[in-house]
Amino acid sequence: MDWGIENRLSRLIKKDGRCQFLPIDHGYFQGPTSCLEKPSETIRELLPYADGLFVTRGVLRSSIPPNSQVPIILRVSGGTSIIGTDLANETITTSIEEIIRLNAAAVGISVFVGSDYEKQTLTNLTQLVDQCEDFGIPVMAVTAVGKELEKREARYLALSCRIAAELGARIVKTYYCPEDFEKVTGGCPVPIVIAGGPKCETEFEVFEFVYDGLQKGAIGINLGRNVWQNPHPVPMMRALNAIIHRNSTPREAQELFEELSSKQ
């Protein structure tokens, strides 16, 4: 692997081989998402626990202090909205010059396998990989499902992840599924991180699926709403950190969450 790629990946993936990314890119198609209306306020106390921040250039410039040492994963696809006709109709939104100017440690782009825009979004990925690899910048593919959350089953996720890796993604972000998740990670030759999806009913549910996903081969998480939409986002972030970097069980993470949130 080229030195530049390896160096950037090592800033994002810690020495234990694990990572906790914090995504706040939701506004690029959802607008002012609940609890993310003012991104700088949402993340202020969460940033110290993040191994990477997934963000668009607009929020990066307006809301993140440039002296922050948290590596940036720049969201570089978009062009659609939740009130438009099809969320999958994305394009690349950010030039390679801008990616370099913003000192991104990596970039993130969505692919919509099985959608009307499958070829377009996969071609977006290959073009981005060609541009970024020239400059040693790793690409994270986001295996998006649009509004069709029922697509979150192993056969579909394994297909999407493998295709994204074959086309050059260095990391793949996908959803966890309770059945056969090891087939998703086992069929993907590059590291997988788990996204959260809509907020779960209990913290324990989140701790359980993150823990299980790691046991089944994921290297970490890219979890947004289940962190910053929680009434106690910092305890949530820290409890997840304990699962990822200290191998805590869901029960131990729950105890830590309760201890930290009772002190707030």
Q: Kindly list the catalytic residues.
A: 173
Considering only 49, 54, 181, 211, the residue that binds ligand 5RP (CB under 6 A) is: 54
Q: How far is the CB of 263 from ligand 5RP (least distance, A)?
A: 25
Is 110 or 254 the residue whose CB approaches ligand 5RP more closely? Answer: 110
Is 228 or 257 the residue whose CB approaches ligand 5RP more closely? Answer: 228
The 138-177 contact track toward ligand 5RP, x by CB under 6 A, reads: ----x-----------------------------------
Q: How far is the CB of 197 from ligand 5RP (least distance, A)?
A: 5
Distance CA 217, CA 223 (A): 17
Q: How far is the CB of 229 from ligand 5RP (least distance, A)?
A: 8
Q: What sign has the CA pseudo-torsion 227, 233, 236, 241?
A: positive
Give residues 180-239 in contact with ligand 5RP (rule: CB under 6 A): 195-197, 222-226
Residue 176: left (phi > 0), alpha (psi -120 to 50), or beta?
beta
Is 1 or 82 the residue whose CB approaches ligand 5RP more closely? Answer: 82
Considering only 5, 13, 22, 23, the residue that binds ligand 5RP (CB under 6 A) is: 23
Distance CA 115, CA 117 (A): 5
DSSP state of 260: H
Total of chain residues touching ligand 5RP, rule CB under 6 A: 13
Can you tell me whether residue 190 is helix, strand or coil? coil
Distance CA 226, CA 171 (A): 21
Is 109 or 190 the residue whose CB approaches ligand 5RP more closely? Answer: 109
Question: What's phi and psi for 110, nearest 5 deg?
Answer: -90, 145
Structural tokens at position 233: 């986002």
Task: Enumerate residues 6+ apart whose C-beta is below 8 A from 255.
Answer: none
Distance CA 16, CA 191 (A): 13
Instruction: Point out which residues bind ligand 5RP (CB under 6 A).
Output: 23, 25-26, 54, 142, 195-197, 222-226
